[in-house]
Amino acid sequence: MSDIIQLLPDHVANQIAAGEVVQRPASVVKELLENAIDADATEIKLIVKDAGKTLVQVIDNGKGMSVTDARLSFERHATSKIKAAEDLFRLNTKGFRGEALASIAAIAHVELKTKQAEDDLGTSIEIEGSVVKSQEVAVTPTGTSVSVKHLFFNIPARRNFLKSDTVELRHITDEFHRVALAHPNIAFAFYHNGSDLFNVPQENYRQRVVHIFGTKTNEKLVPVEEETEVLKISGFVGKPEFSKKTKSEQFFFVNNRFIKSPYLNHAINAAFEGLLKDSYHPSYFLNLTVDPKTIDINIHPTKTEIKFDDEHTLYAILRSAVKHSLGQFNIAPVLDFDQQGNFDTPYSYKNKVAATPAIEVDRDFNPFANDFGGGRQSSSRNTGFKSAPTASWESMYVGLESKGNESSSDFSQVTFESETKDESIFTDSSIETRKTTFQLQQKYIVSTLKSGMLIIDQNRAHQRILYENFLKHITIKEATSQQLLFPLHLHFTPNELKIIEDLKTDLGHTGFVFSEMNAKEVVITGVPVGVPESEVSIILEQLISDVENDVPDANFSAADLLAKSMAKSLAIKTGQSLNSTEQEHMVNSLFACKEPNVSPTNRPTFVTMGVDDIEKKFM
């Protein structure tokens, strides 16, 4: 039998490795930004075209590379960060495995320009699919510029799996946020298709958070500071009243590296226990500084997951620090061990017995002295006021004994005003009215059929009803709005404002009226009929979350997504009690829909049980 195992060619191995490191344009952005940070850059520019599918370019003013280093940087496992395996546990830099540039060059057209400060001329290298096309001397400023064009040009299957430009741009923006938040001492600029999305200068951490997530964020932040031998914590958590239904504002940074840790996230949720509404998530921007020897950051290709030596200790410290900050700033009640000393009992009174308070009573005082002409004179004579003579106070009770027997009958003659009964003009007393529906567990509506029983999921059914109504209004562009007495001012991040601006027309067709929309806030003066003012911000946040996770390209699909999102936000929830009229209206409205069988998310809205099925249960 012939041998069947063979070594893969280098270009195939590089493409396989690229699949682990480069999943989408955002992966390229992350690797290039981290390389620029490792080069000690103080100013970094990110230029993106067509959500990174056409171009991703990172320009920095770092220390640059020599001619030899520029060429070697594209070789696999070529790195200046580690020399031995032990160095993996003493890492203070971002990139260290030497896979990023080699992987990117295997699946894109890459152009590198770099120059060191002591050199007069720099180096320019062009690579296409791991093949070096040219390397020559070039005039370029100090630092490095890396341009990645036509990503996945030689792997069409991977390119076809990329999402729409809006989705890919969101992923790039998320990576930009993570890097920019971790390094407030570096100035960043982000351009997409020639427009300026972010331009943040060197600043402190609080200013960086406010610059990225909007000026309204400043009032939401609660500082968190704690330093122990094991862990140092600094950063901010959001106030509970500003919590969101999404996890878009949750950032952990360990040694200036963004990570994802469900275990530490649980510690934050435990600190907020009792302060958040159901299905709401706290915001936090926390920097954790630990000894590099106590963590392993080499367990995931993208290095977003870290293994800690002692997670339980970190959990306890993090939870206590956050809880202390919430109590210190009067966000949550805590035991105050630093209370003022004047509230404490002095030591000199420690062994003393409490003395019984003395009570002095003037036994000669008679408040009715004027009426009887005796006793002490009334205080009115002393104050200069003259009191009018009054009858004896005993006359108030004269005759009560004779009327004692009649008093019980007086209450029997008291009549109470009965409630007005609103009877329908069509009510016929000869027709027996009976309840045709009832609610089960405040979740299902049960109704009878000729052939058996109908069980309706009230949440899914209401979603179907609202979905078709919203879709109809968007399609025919005839929706009724209710004007607000006072305009509603809502604040969002720049990325969220861009999404609302794209959907502004469709939102207007559903009944929303926008009077103003700028870089800081959205002003709403009208909402769809039946939408409470308090629900507007929740609806828009849910809509933004849905759009970020699945953005369609076609206009009809955008309207469809908008209708689904609003229906999901406004539908009655499980646990809401409905009276008989509301239950019957729900049943009638559901079966008036075009597709009553399924919800907008293609889940069944009702099930039926025939008489035969019920009889089988008793066999």
DSSP 37-50: HHTT-SEEEEEEEG
Do 74 and 175 fall into the same domain?
A: yes
Do 163 and 21 fall into the same domain?
A: yes
What pTM was computed for the model? 0.66
Do 221 and 86 fall into the same domain?
A: no
In a domain, 415, yes or no: no
> Do residues 129 and 154 touch, judged by C-beta distance below 8 A?
yes
Whose CA is closest to 476, among 505, 504, 509?
509
Domain boundary among 172, 200, 228: 200
In a domain, 127, yes or no: yes
Give residue-wise pLDDT tens across range 420-461. 554 444 444 333 344 578 888 888 888 888 788 888 898 889
Give residue-wise pLDDT tens across range 32-63. 998 899 888 999 999 999 999 999 999 999 99
Quick one: CA torsion of 428, 430, 431, 432, rounded to 10 degrees? Answer: 120
The pair of structure tokens assigned to 556 is 């009809």
Q: Region 232-248: what's the mean pLDDT?
A: 87
Do 490 and 593 fall into the same domain?
A: yes
Quick one: CA torsion of 460, 461, 467, 470, rounded to 10 degrees? Answer: -130
Q: How many CA atoms lie within 13 A of 25 on its CB side?
A: 36
Give residue-wise pLDDT tens across range 548-606. 666 554 444 667 777 887 788 788 888 888 888 888 888 888 888 888 888 888 888 88
Q: Which residue has the higher pLDDT, 534 or 376?
A: 534
DSSP string, 536-552: HHHHHHHHHHHHHH---
Read off the CATH number of the domain in which 478 is found: 3.30.1370.100
Do 453 and 519 fall into the same domain?
A: yes
CA distances from residue 324 to 126, 225, 250, 495, 606 in whole angstroms, order as listed:
54, 10, 19, 32, 49
Strands (E), 398-480: 437-440, 444-448, 452-457
Do 108 and 255 fall into the same domain?
A: no
Do 263 and 177 fall into the same domain?
A: no
Domain boundary among 305, 328, 351: 328
CA distances from residue 133 to 62, 110, 129, 213, 280 in whole angstroms, order as listed:
25, 10, 10, 42, 53
Instruction: Find the helix packing angle between 165-182 and 494-502, rounded to 10°.
Output: 170
Q: Which residues contact 37 (CB under 8 A, 6 or more apart)?
A: 44, 94, 179, 183, 186
- 111 pLDDT above the threshold of 90: yes
In a domain, 176, yes or no: yes
pLDDT (0 to 100) of residue 143: 93
The pair of structure tokens assigned to 98 is 């030497």
pLDDT (0 to 100) of residue 553: 47
Integer Cα distance of 309 and 269 in angstroms:
22
Computed over its alpha carbons, how large is the radius of gyration of the chain? Answer: 37
pLDDT (0 to 100) of residue 376: 47
> Do residues 568 and 600 touch, judged by C-beta distance below 8 A?
yes
Residue 157, strand partner residues? none
Do 92 and 173 fall into the same domain?
A: yes
Q: How many domains, the chain?
A: 3
Domain boundary among 285, 304, 328: 328
- 112 pLDDT above the threshold of 90: yes
pLDDT (0 to 100) of residue 581: 85
The overall longest dimension of the chain from CA atoms, in Å, is: 136
Do 557 and 600 fall into the same domain?
A: yes
Q: Which residues contact 152 (CB under 8 A, 6 or more apart)?
A: 107, 108, 158, 159, 162
Average pLDDT score over the chain? 79
Lowest mean pLDDT among 12-16, 53-57, 264-268, 380-384: 380-384
> Do residues 101 and 14 touch, judged by C-beta distance below 8 A?
no
Give residue-wise pLDDT tens across range 469-484. 888 877 776 667 788 8
Do 324 and 467 fall into the same domain?
A: no
Percent of the chain beyond pLDDT 90?
19
pLDDT (0 to 100) of residue 389: 52
In a domain, 452, yes or no: yes
Q: Region 461-465: what's the mean pLDDT?
A: 90
Read off the CATH number of the domain in which 130 is found: 3.30.565.10
Whose CA is closest to 237, among 226, 224, 248, 225?
224
Long-range pairs of 468-474 with CB within 8 A, sequence gap ≥ 24: 468/593, 468/594, 468/595, 470/510, 470/562, 470/563, 470/566, 470/567, 471/559, 471/560, 471/563, 473/509, 473/510, 473/511, 473/528, 474/506, 474/509, 474/510, 474/559, 474/562, 474/563
In a domain, 180, yes or no: yes
Lowest mean pLDDT among 23-37, 411-425, 485-499, 503-517: 411-425
| Residue 392, Cβ density class (10 Å: 0-12 exposed, 13-18 middle, ≥19 buried) | exposed
Measured in whole angstroms, the distance separating CA 456 from the mean position of its chain's CA atoms is: 31
In a domain, 360, yes or no: no
In a domain, 438, yes or no: no
Characterise 467 by phi-psi region: left (phi > 0), alpha (psi -120 to 50), beta (else).
Answer: alpha
Do 100 and 170 fall into the same domain?
A: yes
Size (the chain), residues: 619
Give residue-wise pLDDT tens across range 128-168. 988 889 999 999 999 999 999 998 888 888 888 888 887 88
In a domain, 289, yes or no: yes
Percent of the chain beyond pLDDT 70?
77
Q: Region 64-84: what's the mean pLDDT?
A: 75
Do 192 and 89 fall into the same domain?
A: yes
Whose CA is closest to 569, among 167, 279, 214?
279
- Parent domain of 320: 213-328
8 band by pLDDT with thresholds 50, 70 and 90: confident
Q: Which residue has the higher pLDDT, 291 or 378?
A: 291
Measured in whole angstroms, the distance separating CA 404 from the mean position of its chain's CA atoms is: 70
Read off the CATH number of the domain in which 304 is found: 3.30.230.10
* Other CB atoms within 10 Å distance of the CB of residue 521: 17
Lowest mean pLDDT among 203-207, 248-252, 340-344, 552-556: 552-556
